[in-house]
Amino acid sequence: MEPGNGGKKVTIRSARGIVTCPGRNFVTLKIETDEGVYGIGDATLNGRELSVASYLSDHVIPNLIGRDAQRIEDIWQFLYKGGYWSRGVVAMTALAAVDTALWDIKAKLAGMPLYQLLGGRSRDGVLVYGHANGADIEQTVDQVGAYCDMGYRAIRAQSGVPGVKGAYGVGRGDMYYEPADAALPTETLWDTAAYLNHAPKLFEKLRDQYGPDIELLHDVHHRLTPMEAARLGKSLEPFRLFWMEDATPADNQEAFRLIRQHTTTPLAVGEIFASIHDCRTLIQEQLIDYIRSTVVHAGGITHLRRIADLAGLYQIRTGCHGATDLSPVCMGAALHFDTWVPNFGIQEYMRHTPETDEVFPHDYHFADGYLHAGEAPGHGVDIDEKLAAKYEYEPRQLPVARLRDGTLWNW
């Protein structure tokens, strides 16, 4: 159809969730209109995929049929306020999928890549960071070198800790590290003292080997208390990290006051946040430097934009979550967001497997350390439903962590 339709209603004719497992599980919402234009949104919640699929098919999709697909804001408000029990991550992931699919449709109707609708290009490319993992420091140092060779300018480094089996972020020797590995959670060990002794050694070695320019990031994955996190931040200061991520759980946002008082290492948090209320104090008190929320778990483009605008008031920049459990659909939408958002910081980019890329044809591409959103109308990512149908859902959950005495810890 021709771009622009004079405000004529574009009716949602059908919608369905598509569950597929091309190497790992993904849930995708497809919304079709009576104009023949369709949109897709990522609805994947790692380890809890079917709850979002059911939330969509049982409770959301019946509310969409017959509505005007162009009324993104009204549909968002309807599902959020109308849902009443709306702020949980399952509800917000479902809402994000609807929102992403509707932005895809609107951009296709307009004949524009999504970033143009959001306000146009703010930068030439989206700086990304890759994941270098190793069983020990030597392996991680080698992996960082491999990412430098691929052209990355920013690299997250994680290393196994001596005597700590299954410490977070240890790879399995390939590019496609995925923690959700079993139908029931794998039990891993955690030892804070051993980790706190080990982590600064990794970054000392990395700076020795690769010099001051490469951007280095590190994910603590919620393992420390606020005071332990303060100590780690301080001990990493000589190695100028781009950020220290998820240093302590942010269930209590005020906990970050203590970390902030003690260290100049930049702080990032928010990959598990579902709404602006999860980060309001963190942002308004300038307790963090980067907000990690992304499209799929924080209510879609519509809500993420509100979070980013609030963050921008406090010079806090975005650093969208981009692990492999976020599908290429989320990545495509996030890249359009990143291309526009004025207070952009960095985008996480773990490569998907070739099987996943085949199920989700997309037009974004990597060059010289940057990802580039494509120019196709919409967010530029599609789903090959025939191929998707070949990969049946496989139950998989994320690991858990226990201290040496058996106490259950944060994973």
- Annotated catalytic sites, by residue? 168, 221
Residue type at 12? Answer: I
Tell me whether strands 26-33 and 38-42 are parallel, antiparallel or unpaired. Answer: antiparallel
d(CA 119, CA 33): 25
Window 382-411: residues binding ligand EZ4 (CB under 6 A): 398
Stretch that binds Co ion, among 18-26, 155-163, 197-205, 216-224 (CB under 5 A): 216-224
Residue reference for tokens 């849930």? 27
List phi, psi (to 5°) of 252: -105, 100
Window 392-411: residues binding Co ion (CB under 5 A): none
Min dist. Cβ of residue 117 to ligand EZ4 (A) = 28
Window 6-25: residues binding Co ion (CB under 5 A): none
Number of residues that bind Co ion (CB under 5 A): 2
Does 356 contact ligand EZ4 by CB under 6 A? no
Q: Indicate which single residue of 25, 28, 33, 46 sits in contact with ligand EZ4 (rule: CB under 6 A).
A: 46
Contact present, 133 and 158 (Cβ < 8 Å) = yes
Tell me whether strands 365-367 and 370-372 are parallel, antiparallel or unpaired. Answer: antiparallel
Q: Which is nearer to Co ion, 48 or 67 (CB)?
A: 48
Q: What is the DSSP annotation of 107-150?
A: HHHHTSBHHHHHT--S-SSEEEEEEEEESSHHHHHHHHHHHHHH
Q: Indicate which single residue of 49, 104, 219, 325 sits in contact with Co ion (rule: CB under 5 A).
A: 219
d(CA 41, CA 36): 17
Window 297-326: residues binding ligand EZ4 (CB under 6 A): 321, 323, 325
Q: Which is nearer to Co ion, 104 or 219 (CB)?
A: 219
Min dist. Cβ of residue 115 to Co ion (A) = 25
Q: Which is nearer to Co ion, 219 or 278 (CB)?
A: 219
* Binding partner selected for residue 325 from ligand EZ4, Co ion, none, CB under the kind-specific 5 to 8 Å limit: ligand EZ4
Q: What is the DSSP annotation of 196-264?
A: HHHHHHHHHHHHHHH-SSSEEEEE-TT-S-HHHHHHHHHHHGGG--SEEE--S--SSTTHHHHHHHH--
Contact present, 162 and 170 (Cβ < 8 Å) = no
* Binding partner selected for residue 382 from Co ion, ligand EZ4, none, CB under the kind-specific 5 to 8 Å limit: none
Residue 44: closest CA among 394, 381, 326:
326
* Binding partner selected for residue 46 from ligand EZ4, Co ion, none, CB under the kind-specific 5 to 8 Å limit: ligand EZ4
Q: Which residue is nearest to ligand EZ4 (CB)?
A: 323
Q: Indicate which single residue of 179, 345, 374, 378 sits in contact with ligand EZ4 (rule: CB under 6 A).
A: 179
d(CA 348, CA 156): 9
293: Cβ–Cβ under 8 A, 6 or more apart, which residues?
270, 271, 273, 278, 279, 304, 307, 320, 321
Min dist. Cβ of residue 270 to Co ion (A) = 9
Q: Indicate which single residue of 42, 49, 271, 278 sits in contact with ligand EZ4 (rule: CB under 6 A).
A: 271
Min dist. Cβ of residue 325 to ligand EZ4 (A) = 4
Min dist. Cβ of residue 23 to Co ion (A) = 20
Min dist. Cβ of residue 350 to Co ion (A) = 10
Window 186-245: residues binding ligand EZ4 (CB under 6 A): 219, 221
Q: Listing from the earlier edge strand, what are the strands of the sheet with 187-189?
A: 187-189, 400-402, 408-409
Window 281-320: residues binding Co ion (CB under 5 A): none
d(CA 192, CA 207): 23
Binding residues for ligand EZ4 (CB under 6 A) = 46, 179, 219, 221, 271, 321, 323, 325, 348, 398
Binding residues for Co ion (CB under 5 A) = 219, 271
